[in-house]
Chains A and B, each alone.
Chain A
Amino acid sequence: MNEKGFATISMLYLSILLIFITYFIVSITSIIYNKNLTQNAADQVSIKLAITKDCQSLNNILNLNKVDFETCEVRDNFVEVQVKKTLDLIIYENLSKFGINLRELTAISRAF
């Protein structure tokens, strides 16, 4: 027995571990990023709805913020809107590898 290749094998394992950790962090971060996008879109849409009080007028701002409409309520003293964002297939597949089955993200926002 000799020690040839010992260091190479250890470094190879370490490299694989590093790449896996980075992959995991990026996958989790993509959820947080998309949640931020969705919440921002919900906030912008609710502000517009508070001004117009018309749920039909929201299509343009929804499209530009790349989210889909879910519910819209105009009440006496406030408005409430719920939007959803469908995650890209590549992100969905990456998350599935870690046991996270998340296809859509939703966000609710209210404005006066």
Chain B
Amino acid sequence: MKNKLRQVKVSFLKFLTCRNFISEKGLVTAESAIAMMSLMTVLGMCLSVLFLVFNQFLLFESARQGSRMLSRGENEEVVKSKILAMTPSANLDFVYENDLVSVLVQKEFINIFRILKINLSADSTSSLEFYE
């Protein structure tokens, strides 16, 4: 009688929670599924960091090229289009100071980087070759 009552109780709980309380079948699979999600999250974070590093290189390269072009007397519009082709949606700033020209390139990101307020920037300064 006691055993029968226990069986009914277990069957009722199984029905309620869709889980098997007696055997451990599928436990590792379920655990792996949950752990895999956290691994994917960590992988995503690592890839995001590498993405930021890559973008920092790109920004610096465009700032360097921009300042060299300006120092050789290139038109600002041409320099702008060249930099924007390399780093789309970047904010550009050209600063002239005596015989020097500085190019500051900033980039704001979307999605998670925007929430974390992560902005990247790079600058480069060259001397004007045709300064009078």
Instruction: List A8-63 residues whose CB lies under 8 Å from chain B.
Output: 8, 10-12, 14-15, 18-19, 21-22, 25-26, 29, 33, 36-37, 40, 44, 47-48, 51, 60-61
Interface positions of B from 107 to 127, Cβ below 8 Å from A: 123-127
* Residue from B24, B35, B129 whose CB has the most chain A CB atoms within 10 Å: B35
B interface footprint on A52-96 (CB within 8 Å = 1, 0 otherwise): 000000001100110000000000000000000000000000000
| 28 A-B interface contacts by CB (under 8 A) | A2-B24, A3-B24, A4-B24, A4-B31, A7-B28, A7-B32, A8-B34, A15-B38, A18-B42, A18-B43, A18-B46, A21-B46, A26-B53, A33-B56, A37-B60, A44-B67, A44-B124, A44-B126, A44-B127, A48-B127, A51-B129, A60-B97, A60-B98, A61-B127, A64-B100, A64-B123, A64-B125, A65-B125
Which of B34, B39, B67 has the most A CB atoms < 10 Å from its CB? B39
**Closest residue of chain A to B72, judged by CB?**
A47
Instruction: Say yes or no: is A98 at the interface (Cβ < 8 Å to chain B).
Output: no
User: Contact at A25–B50, with CB atoms within 8 Å?
Assistant: yes
Residue contact B100 to A61, C-beta cutoff 8 Å: yes
In the docked arrangement, what's the CA distance between A19 and B38, Å?
13
- Do A29 and B125 have beta carbons less than 8 Å apart? no
- Binding site secondary structure of chain B: helix
Count of interface residues, chain B, beta-carbon cutoff 8 Å:
33
Q: Is the CB of A11 within 8 A of B43?
A: no
**In the complex, which residue of chain B has the Cβ closest to the Cβ of A65?**
B125
B98 to chain A, nearest CB (A): 7
Question: Closest A-chain residue to B46, C-beta based?
Answer: A22
Q: Which residue of B lies closest to A3 (CB)?
A: B28
With A26-B49, A33-B56, A61-B100 already in contact, the answer to whether A15 and B42 are too (CB < 8 A) is yes
Question: What's the least CB distance linking A50 to chain B, in Å?
Answer: 10
Please name all residues of chain B whose beta carbon is closer than 8 Å to the beta carbon of A10 when the two chains form the complex: 35
1/0 per residue, CB under 8 A from A, across B81-125: the answer is: 000000000000000011110100000000000000000000111
Q: How far is the CA of A44 from the CA of B60 in the complex (A)?
A: 14
